[in-house]
Amino acid sequence: MALSYWSPGWRDQTLQSLSNGQSFDLIVVGGGITGAGIYREATAKGLKVLLVEQKDFAWGTSSRSSKMVHGGLRYLGKGQFGLAKDSVTERQKLMEQLKGLVDPLPFLMGHYKGGFPGPWIFDKLLAIYDLFAGKRYRQFVKSQVNDFYAPGMKQRELLGATRFMDAVTDDARLVMRVLADGNEQGGIALNYLKATGVMRSGSEVERNTKVIGLYLKDELSGKELQVQANAVVNASGAWTDELRQMLGNKKSIRPLRGSHLVIPFWRLPVAFSVSFFHPKDKRPVFVFPWEGQVVIGTTDLDHHNTMLSEASITENEVTYLLDAANSQFDHAALKREDIISSWSGVRPVVVDEYSAEDVAATNKPSDEKREHMVWDDAGCISIAGGKLTTFRLLALEVLRAAQPYLQNNLSISDLDAPSDFSESDESVLIGDHKLSKQRRQRLVGRYGDIANQLVEQADIDDLTLLGNTEVCLQELFWACENEAVEHLDDLLLRRVRIGMLYPEGAIHLIQPWTELLRERLQWPIQKWDEEWHRYKNIIADHYSLPNQKECV
């Protein structure tokens, strides 16, 4: 009997099917937003597609980004008008088509006497920004009004501030929404399935022979298999070099770490994202509301640690971010004790040939160009350096590069424009449950058309929000049964984000529901106990502050 997609047991059934010799038009390596976008677009064009991810979906940068779907204001400052226009256009479309998941977020940039940027030049820059958006968002705000939008913002020598618009998202849920579309269109997406080698049409050691598939390893069972495809796409982000080096290429990715702090909303009750420059190095920093708390970000440093485990914030980064926030909110007096959690993501920056010593000696991380690159290694198309905002456009670019290998299954004329998201109507979520318009829109944004099914299957008590979050228990139940949860951190850090929003990974918030979650995951008690211990270690090691690891 065929099991429902991503349900407990479906994975083993699907791996067995792959072992029996299935072949594909395309195999996508990487379950972040870039890989998910390619998967969705390729299946929408009628291709038979397999996506594999060595960890969990969105485990890497795509669950630990700065959450911004931005129009690329910095591109305008560098004269990259085409890139800025594409980014603004995509931002607008995502806000329209994914309401409740990609939401408008007002920004506030203070203008101080003798400081940069001045209000006049900033207004002219934003005029171009708004022209691309087809709507005027910018507005100059007098200094007296700022305290309403950003209480506690530094007032000394403040001339006023400019309000403008970008967007914010739950990055991991965006990945899941994009993957779900690909699933509905006939694709297969598997987490914890690692590409360990490349299959070639000729000798395995012969360069430039066509890539015809991948050797894969199930990271949960250790089972190995091989799957053939007309083309392979390497969309593994900061891990891009791993697959490209199997093909004889040199390193070309400079991994840069961006770290963030989460603090309680009441400590900095900002309604907008406040953008400013760090007093030490003049890098842009921001403080913004997210999921009921407030985030301070971000750093920009070379990441020299292993890429096999999650990145973690350092003591210097904690100090750097606290100093930034306290400089802009000069009466807040934020301390380490105020911090709920942290997260660190590693961004892939493309360089000509990466040598950690040479590159770091010549270019500061913030000076590196943030442009993407596409390579074609005889049927293995690699992409790195892409942005969250433009993931749909990147998917088209990759498919154009792969088109010659797809044996007439894809026409270039099919790749003129990305596939739109169906704009689900939040008003259908009525039933017997009286949910607010905001909650209905949030659920539809995250789950699309299946949001109605999620709500209909819930008991009324399961729709009650957990703590001070916007997450209800039914979302956890749904994820356990329908969203490929293999480890507890998959559930609490990526399917929902409550592990980042409460101290100690929200273990005290979840404790009363552990038995119900275990039953839905179909885990024996021993497996649950092992996962509980594993999760607490992950939180202590990678989502807390340095030197806060306790005996767990």
CATH numbers and ranges of domains, the chain? 14-62+172-252+355-415 (3.50.50.60), 103-168+255-349 (3.30.9.10), 457-542 (no CATH)
Tokens 């099914």 locate to 453
- pLDDT score of 434: 77
Q: What is the mean pLDDT of residues 115-119?
A: 90
Number of CB atoms found within 10 A of residue 108's CB: 23
For residue 450, how many C-alpha atoms fall within 13 Å in the half-sphere facing its CB? 15
- pLDDT score of 198: 97
352-397: pLDDT as tens digits: 765 545 555 556 665 556 689 999 999 999 999 989 999 999 999 9
296-354: pLDDT as tens digits: 999 999 999 888 889 999 999 999 999 999 999 999 999 999 999 999 999 999 997 65
Taking each helix axis from N to C terminus, what angle separates 473-482 and 514-521, rounded to the nearest 10 degrees? 20
CB 199 within 8 A of CB 378: no
Question: Which residues touch 529 (CB under 8 Å, ≥6 apart)?
Answer: none
Top pLDDT among 306 and 188 is at 188
CB 53 within 8 A of CB 192: yes
Residue 217 predicted with pLDDT over 80: yes
Helix, strand, coil percent values for the chain (each to nearest 5): 40, 20, 35
Q: What is the mean pLDDT of residues 226-244?
A: 97
Name residue 329's amino acid. Answer: F
- pLDDT score of 78: 81
Q: What is the mean pLDDT of residues 272-279?
A: 96
Tokens of 376: 């074609």
What mean pLDDT, rounded, does the chain reach?
Answer: 92
Pairing state between β 23-29 and 224-234: parallel
Q: What is the mean pLDDT of residues 167-196?
A: 98
Residue 232 predicted with pLDDT over 90: yes
Q: Which of 90, 152, 110 is nearest to 326 (CA)?
A: 152
Question: Which residues touch 551 (CB under 8 Å, ≥6 apart)?
Answer: none
- pLDDT score of 551: 36
Q: Which of 9, 8, 44 is nearest to 179 (CA)?
A: 44
- pLDDT score of 407: 80
447-476: pLDDT as tens digits: 998 999 999 999 989 999 999 999 999 999
Q: What is the mean pLDDT of residues 67-87?
A: 90
- pLDDT score of 103: 98
Q: What is the mean pLDDT of residues 216-244?
A: 97
User: Rounded CA gap, 428 and 452, in Å?
Assistant: 7
- pLDDT score of 412: 83
Phi, psi angle pair for 551, to nearest 5°: -70, 115
Q: What is the mean pLDDT of residues 182-198?
A: 98
Helices (H) and strands (E) in the chain, counts: 19, 18
290-305: pLDDT as tens digits: 999 999 999 999 999 8
Residue 229 predicted with pLDDT over 80: yes
CB 305 within 8 A of CB 238: no
475-499: pLDDT as tens digits: 999 999 999 999 999 999 999 999 9
Tokens 């790749």 locate to 415
The region, left, alpha or beta by phi > 0 then psi within -120 to 50, assigned to residue 67 is left
Top pLDDT among 519 and 424 is at 519
pLDDT band at 552 (very low <50, low <70, confident <90, very high): very low
Q: What is the mean pLDDT of residues 148-170?
A: 94
411-446: pLDDT as tens digits: 887 898 999 998 766 665 545 567 898 999 999 999
- pLDDT score of 408: 78
